[in-house]
Structure 1
Amino acid sequence: MSRARTARFVLILGALSGFGPLSIDMYLPAFPAMAGELHAGQSQVQLTLTACTLGLALGQLVAGPLSDTLGRRRPLLTGLAVFTLTSLLCAVAPSAEALSALRLVQGLGGAAGIVISRAAVRDLYEGPELARFFSLLMLVNGAAPVLAPVIGGQLLSWVSWRGVFVTLGAIGLVLLVASALGLPETLAPQRRRPGSLTATLRTMWDLLRDRVFLGYALSLALAFAALFAYISGSSFVLQDVYGMSPQLFSLVFGGNAVAIIVFGQVNAWLVRFQSARRLLVAGLVTVLLGGLGVLVAAVTGIGLPVMLPALVVVSGGIGVVFPNATALALADHPETAGNASALLGVLQFLAGGFAAPLVGSGGAASALPMALVMASLATAAVLVFLVLARGRRITPGSARRPATDRQPAAG
């Protein structure tokens, strides 16, 4: 694969895998304003976040198996079209309840980009190259949480929160055109699998019975949920509790996303010399230390001087956990990459969706609910890894040659 072609794949697949942070982060600075305009409480506004997260999870269960049967392009383009349309409809939602319903459908469409981007990478790479390519995707995927809250915060200086969803619709349209013109089919017809419901359920059941796969998937999901607890609660904690403006909040939030990018690129270099499994352990421990730091800041009342660095540590740890856990989970399932990617994403977003209402139920008067949820989930991620994820690993140079000589099928 030429450098130009690789760069194009990184750009498009990275942007597609960024549908989660794009859909979630861009409107976070508008939460207080939305609650006022829609006459809704904090929990009702956070429910719109949970609805989108649920759609992102369930949509992967549909798009992933379909992509193993039909190829990657058709489910991807359909999902992008649904995302674009519902984003525009969200801009005219009359109530929090209507917005939650539309956000569910929006998430269902955006899920295709997330699950199929991972499966397409697995079609082309294996071994340490698989972990390295996922780290490269962090360059683009990591830019989504950097740009999303910054764009959202700045947009709020000119338009209401509804303009944020118009922007999301425009982004969906751009990615739809880019994918149609620049992303060929990566799954050749001879590698596709029967698409019956029975076959899909059997494959999912086999994956769930794979202890090591489940260990990697759950440790990733719980670490992501710790980050999601911060995502869902930070707008209220940093703005209402600590008095930040929406613009300053968006810059702080974007700074944490920079940590994801930086740590992801360090991981891309380290995976040449260390096993992905060892790096995953280091990432999980980093997330745990950051979560405990956030808890200390909330309990002792020290506040931002400790909390902000701890949040950077959590975000940086995710930049190491994501590429290694994803590569390790998909490594042994090349023929069912769509199904495996779907299950990986479902567990990730369901855990994240579970974290959001936990944070909201503690109220918005203190940082303690967010801190407790973050620290608990980070601890659970480490424990799950220690109990389940024993055995197979990717070591430097031990895997087969990367499958970069496999030409994507026409289409």
Structure 2
Amino acid sequence: MKSQAKAISNFEFICLMALLMSLVALTIDAVLPALSQLGTDLKVANENDTQLVLSSVFFGMAFGLMIYGPISDSFGRKNSIYLGVSIFIIGDLISLFAVDFNMMIIGRVIQGFGAAACRVVSLAMIRDKFEGPEMGRVMSLIVMSFIIVPALAPSVGQGILWIGDWRAIFGFVLLFSMSSLLWFHFRQEETLDLDKRLPFTLTAIFNGIKETLTNKVSRNYMLASGVIFGSFIGYLSTSQQLLQIHYKLGEQFALYFGVLALALGLSSFSNSKLVMRYKMVNLCLTALLGLLISSSLFLIYCFVLQNEPTIFMLMMYLSISFFFFGLLFGNLNSLAVQPLGHIAGVANSVISSIQTLISVFIGGVIGYLYNESAIPLTVGFFVCALLSIVLILRAKKKSKLVTAI
């Protein structure tokens, strides 16, 4: 009976962490079907500028990620979540009542700044409870669970548009975030004991940042995760223009988007099993090599065909790519923070912040290069996979040197 209670507790913990971490996915993916309507309503002149509604969330996150870790190390994980979700709600309200595009972007940046707490503090709470392969397994299960949100979010957004406008989507996100906060408040215990909390001083924060950045193993995994996640942001930024508009999917866009999200979920579930048998670093290298090869073959196919691929071929390529992505996200984050468990809060802040800044830049470049074809996105996948392989091999080499010492 005791083990059963523990299993139920771990199951609820996984669901709750997945729900909190999915706030970002929800506030991005639910808006995707409404981008054209939102751009028209707020008088956006350049269609590519509507991508800022998505990338501005990640931009806000990049700065929020830096502060919530130290706050959670000093004042506890729960208090940090309360602060972050409250800021997220304020940003959502600003976006909900936006009267022009500038006000919308401000609200989205604030949303990202607040949602950063859910990401970095959730990772710290997971690190408080698990480590090593078990942490990788739990991270995979959490990724698999919160994949349900991006899989369903565009359909939810499309459904809301049938009865309302884009503002109603922000109203739904508001209710979702408040409900999540209530569940967290009543069901989740504090994971950081009082005797393990660090003083909130600039010296302590600076030392934590310095230790994180000077750890060569962690640094290379951090850079690799930022690069490969950047290519994924490139997909998020261009998916609505590529699939809904260029391939004329219309309201079916949500269905196709959900299928690709489920490919991520299937991969994450597979990873939760594989990570208990194989080393995380080897799984990452295998996934990146698969992404590199599949992108090369798809590019050859596009150039030989000398015409745009059919929607079937594009979906096949993206599904394969997303399966490889699912083997990367949880493992790379776990590998980056693994050497720094004693300063998990600060380490997660630094790692996540730099990772996000890198990914926003790379994703922005891919989005800017969008030319009504899948070529810029495919080239982005190829280049980012290649760079990430180099960085992981460097991290692997540094890890062996540290072990030898």
Q: Is TM more than 0.5 here?
A: yes
CA distance in structure 1 between the aligned counterparts of 2:394 and 2:32, rounded to whole angstroms? 35
Listed as ranges, the matches of 1:252-291 within 5 Å are 252-291=256-295
Instruction: Tell me the SS of whatever aligns to 1:94.
Output: coil
CA drift of 1:298 comes to: 5.0
Structure 2 letter corresponding to 1:170: L
CA drift of 1:262 comes to: 0.8
Listed as ranges, the matches of 1:324-343 within 5 Å are 324-343=331-350
Runs of 5+ in structure 2 lacking a partner?
A: 401-405
Instruction: Tell me the SS of whatever aligns to 2:88.
Output: helix
Matching residue within 342, 356, 373 for 1:349: 356
Aligned: 1:177 with 2:185: no
* Moved beyond 6 Å, runs of 4+: none
CA drift of 1:363 comes to: 4.5
CA distance in structure 2 between the aligned counterparts of 1:154 and 1:355, rounded to whole angstroms? 32
Match of 2:384 in 1: 377
Instruction: Tell me the SS of whatever aligns to 1:369.
Output: helix
Residues 85-107 of structure 1, C-alpha deviations (whole Å, 9 max, x = no match):
32132111011111001111111
1:381–1:153 distance in 2 versus 1, CA, 3 Å: farther
Match of 2:403 in 1: none
Match of 1:31 in 2: 35
CA distance in structure 1 between the aligned counterparts of 2:9 and 2:383, rounded to whole angstroms? 42
Aligned: 1:88 with 2:93: yes
CA distance in structure 2 between the aligned counterparts of 1:293 and 1:156, rounded to whole angstroms? 38
Aligned: 1:230 with 2:235: yes
CA drift of 1:161 comes to: 1.3
CA drift of 1:124 comes to: 0.6
Aligned: 1:251 with 2:255: yes
Listed as ranges, the matches of 1:112-127 within 5 Å are 112-127=117-132
CA drift of 1:391 comes to: 4.4
Matching residue within 208, 213, 227 for 1:208: 213
CA drift of 1:383 comes to: 2.1
Structure 2 letter corresponding to 1:227: F
Instruction: Tell me the SS of whatever aligns to 2:309.
Output: coil
Matching residue within 105, 113, 138 for 1:108: 113
- Normalised by the length of structure 2, the TM-score is 0.92
Aligned length: 392
Structure with a larger share of its residues in helix: 2
CA distance in structure 1 between the aligned counterparts of 2:301 and 2:215, rounded to whole angstroms? 39
1:382–1:180 distance in 2 versus 1, CA, 3 Å: same
Aligned: 1:308 with 2:324: no
Structure 1 letter corresponding to 2:357: L
Residues 105-159 of structure 1, C-alpha deviations (whole Å, 9 max, x = no match):
1111111011111000000111211111111112322112112222112222222
CA RMSD of aligned residues (A): 1.8
Q: Do 2:232 and 2:363's aligned partners in 1 also have CA atoms closer than 8 Å?
A: no
CA drift of 1:352 comes to: 2.8
- Normalised by the length of structure 1, the TM-score is 0.90
CA distance in structure 2 between the aligned counterparts of 1:145 and 1:292, rounded to whole angstroms? 27
CA distance in structure 2 between the aligned counterparts of 1:363 and 1:226, rounded to whole angstroms? 13
Match of 1:323 in 2: 330
